[in-house]
């Protein structure tokens, strides 16, 4: 899940990946990326932490902290959920497919 990602997230200049914990990925449906999906990041207790809308290429990105997180996706054509554990700063990729 961490390590060398196939597709790196689009990060602001100067992002320090030795300090930032970046959770990112693509929302897809039947293999095609889904733009304008609402992706929520929930903390270990299930409480809302942040929400973003996927880009034209279905990408999303959060700046979190080490710990366990859930992701919840809403779109007019379906929903999805995912889990990720960040064991320290760095990049953590999650793929989410609408069902």
Partner 1 sequence: MSRADVLVSADWAEENLNSPGVVFVEVDEDTSAYDGGHLAGAVKLDWKTELQDQVRRDFVSKEQFEALLSAKGIGNDDAVILYGGNNNWFASYAYWYFKLYGHENVKLLDGGRKKWELDGRELSKDAVSRPATTYTAKDQDLAIRAFRDEVVAAIGVKNLIDVRSPDEFSGKLLAPAHLPQEQSQRAGHIPTALNVPWSKAANEDGTFRSDKDLLELYTEVGIDDAKDTIAYCRIGERSSHTWFALHELLGFQNVKNYDGSWTEYGSLVGVPIEKDV
List of residues contacting partner 1 (CB under 8 A): 12, 15-16, 19-21, 23, 36, 38, 40-41, 43, 45, 47-53, 61-65, 67, 72, 74-76
Given the complex with partner 1, which of 3 and 76 has the nearer CB atom?
A: 76
| Least CB distance to partner 1 at residue 3 (A) | 22
Given the complex with partner 1, which of 2 and 53 has the nearer CB atom?
A: 53
* Residue 1 in tokens: 């899940």
| Least CB distance to partner 1 at residue 82 (A) | 15
Contact assessment for residue 53 and residue 37, using Cβ atoms and an 8 Å cutoff? yes
SS3 37: coil
Q: 18: left (phi > 0), else alpha (psi -120 to 50), else beta?
A: alpha
């Amino acid at each position: 899940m961490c390590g060398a990602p196939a597709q790196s997230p689009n990060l602001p200049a100067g992002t320090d990946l030795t300090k930032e914990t970046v959770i990112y990925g693509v929302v897809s449906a039947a293999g095609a990326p889904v733009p304008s999906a609402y992706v929520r990041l929930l903390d270990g207790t299930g409480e809302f932490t942040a929400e973003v809308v996927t880009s034209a290429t279905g990408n999303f990105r959060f700046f979190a902290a080490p710990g366990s997180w859930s992701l919840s996706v809403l779109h007019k054509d379906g929903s999805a959920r995912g889990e990720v554990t960040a064991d320290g700063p760095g990049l953590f990729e999650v793929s989410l497919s609408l069902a």
